[in-house]
């Protein structure tokens, strides 16, 4: 089974969010299960020189972008049993700052998607993929290109596509002129059954319409986006293709996230030494961020973008109530200026209760997972979520809203059976969130029970192998002759 991943970010090369973690980890697990996996990425200027120096030039070629004929080159780097290809074009990808949000994103990612398909004409016949696995709106037009521009050619006739929705909120919407000017498609494709949506060309919709199979990053998110509340206006398209939409839960790379090997921690620990290990890391974290050193109060962590999707408005609403609780809170993240200012102010007026770090620091994030007793994720919606999986591995019990991947991974504590691995609330409501925090505090002071929950959470298995097996079964379903 030969699988190509087409994506616009992957660890360790370039990362803006959870997409990079998936594309950096899932192919490794698929390779361990016997698949031949390649990952194709843009060769961004931001990729570190240590990786660029290892890249091998393969060939250059011409990539059609509408009426344009653009230069491209393909570089290769092999790592951990996976081949990474990099599409090189300095005009599109050698830019300072962010990798998304440029004025010509419609063109940049149409070029990238077309370049992935043009590569197939240049590689050895034995390397032609059975399945191209596309990720999010940036590669949404690739399945459309394959079906409309290429599938009649010999090398492309047996290739199937899978399209994964990582976050339906971001869809890649552009003016109608993009259809012919950049995608090389006639007006017959600008319809409700094609790429048109609300009067615009929608790259996400292109993937939903033309891919052979569609996946989401958790089973619950798959069900939620069929409903208008979560469907971001695309729920009719998803409902039409419901039989082809599957929810496959993301995993976590325990080689990267594990308290027994994490170099950012003051003291490493595992489930057998968690009590002493977390106590040491908690004390160090309180000192690092200027909180009173007190082992007897529960410490809550929050590591996230400061945007409404992450439930930050709920946290802001109950902030005065948190001042009255016998607990401490650490907020790490950046985002909307209103929330950045609010939490900076909170840490100034109540330094005994709240510490905030505006920005992002990988080492500090890891120390928050290790030093906190509980971890807050009151998300409005959460396609899968990575932080709750990390926090459980580090023995920090997640406090989550029951949505998407949070619902699928966090089992709320049952005080009668003593089962569970965290705490949760169901409605997007500030009072319910506050109640869940108060339940966590009450349970924290029942030391034997809390220790049992911590040990249960740390022993959960959310490794990528389970997800890889589900994806392999899906690939075999659409390309049975390839295996």
In this structure, what token pair is assigned to residue 157? 């006739």
pLDDT along the chain (483 residues), means of 10: 97 91 95 95 96 96 96 95 96 94 97 98 94 98 98 96 97 97 96 96 98 98 97 98 98 94 97 97 98 97 93 95 97 94 95 94 95 98 96 98 97 95 97 98 97 97 95 96 71
In this structure, what token pair is assigned to residue 269? 């620990």
What's the fold here for domain 274-461?
Rossmann fold (3.40.50)
* pLDDT at position 18: 87
Q: 318-325 long-range contacts, Cβ below 8 Å, gap at least 24?
A: 318/430, 318/431, 318/433, 318/434, 318/437, 319/346, 319/354, 321/434, 322/353, 322/354, 322/437, 323/350, 323/353, 323/354, 325/437, 325/438, 325/441
Query: Which residue, chain included where needed, has tokens 């240590």?
Result: 50
Q: Are 410 and 386 in contact (CB under 8 A)?
A: no
**pTM exceeds 0.85 for this model:** yes
Domain range list for the chain? 2-251+465-482, 274-461
The reply to whether 160 sits in an annotated binding site is: no
In this structure, how many other beta carbons lie within 10 angstroms of the beta carbon of residue 360?
13
- The dihedral built from the CA positions of residue 362, 366, 367 and 368, taken in this order, carries a sign that is positive
- The dihedral built from the CA positions of residue 264, 266, 268 and 271, taken in this order, carries a sign that is negative
Superfamily of the domain at 2-251+465-482:
Glycogen Phosphorylase B; (3.40.50.2000)
Q: What is the DSSP letter of 150?
A: I
């Amino acid at each position: 089974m030969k699988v190509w991943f087409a994506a616009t970010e992957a660890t360790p090369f370039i990362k803006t969010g959870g997409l990079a973690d998936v594309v950096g980890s899932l192919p490794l697990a698929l390779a361990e299960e016997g698949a031949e996996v390649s990952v194709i990425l843009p060769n961004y200027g931001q990729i570190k020189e240590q990786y660029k120096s290892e890249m091998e030039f393969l060939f250059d070629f011409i990539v059609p972008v509408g009426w344009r004929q653009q230069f491209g080159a393909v570089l290769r780097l092999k790592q951990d049993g996976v081949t990474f290809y990099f599409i090189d074009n300095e005009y599109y990808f050698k830019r300072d700052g962010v990798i998304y949000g440029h004025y010509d994103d419609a063109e940049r990612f149409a070029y990238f998607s077309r370049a992935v398909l043009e590569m197939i004409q240049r590689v050895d016949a034995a390397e032609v993929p059975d399945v191209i696995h596309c990720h999010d709106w940036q590669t949404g037009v690739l399945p459309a290109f394959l079906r409309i521009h290429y599938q009649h050619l010999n090398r492309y006739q047996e290739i199937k596509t899978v399209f994964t929705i990582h976050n339906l909120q971001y869809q890649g919407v552009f003016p109608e002129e993009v259809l012919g000017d950049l995608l090389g498609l006639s007006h017959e494709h600008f319809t409700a059954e094609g790429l048109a949506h609300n009067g615009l060309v929608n790259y996400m919709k292109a993937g939903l319409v033309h891919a052979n199979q569609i996946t989401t990053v958790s089973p619950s998110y798959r069900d939620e986006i069929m409903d208008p509340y979560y469907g971001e206006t695309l729920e009719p398209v998803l409902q039409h293709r419901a039989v082809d939409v599957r929810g496959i839960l993301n995993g976590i790379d325990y080689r990267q996230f594990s308290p027994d090997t994490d170099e950012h921690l003051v003291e490493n620990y595992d489930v057998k030494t968690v009590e002493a290990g977390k106590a040491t890391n908690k004390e160090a974290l309180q000192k690092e961020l200027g909180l009173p050193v007190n082992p007897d109060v529960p410490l809550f962590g929050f590591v996230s973008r400061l945007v409404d999707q992450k439930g930050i408005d709920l946290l802001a609403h109950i902030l005065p109530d948190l001042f009255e609780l016998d607990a401490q809170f650490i907020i790490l993240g950046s985002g909307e200026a209103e929330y950045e200012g609010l939490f900076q102010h909170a840490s100034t007026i109540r330094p005994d209760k709240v510490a905030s770090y505006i920005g992002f620091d990988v080492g500090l994030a890891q120390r928050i997972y290790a030093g906190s007793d509980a971890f807050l994720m009151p998300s409005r919606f959460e396609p899968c979520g990575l932080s709750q999986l990390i926090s459980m591995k580090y023995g920090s019990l997640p406090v989550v809203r029951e949505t998407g991947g949070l619902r699928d991974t966090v089992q709320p504590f049952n005080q009668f059976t003593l089962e569970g691995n965290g705490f949760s609330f169901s409605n997007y409501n500030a009072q319910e969130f506050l109640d869940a925090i108060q339940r966590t505090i009450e349970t924290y002071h029942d030391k034997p029970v809390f220790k049992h929950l911590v040990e249960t959470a740390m022993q959960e298995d959310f490794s990528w192998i389970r997800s890889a097996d589900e994806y392999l079964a899906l690939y075999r379903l659409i390309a049975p002759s390839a295996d």
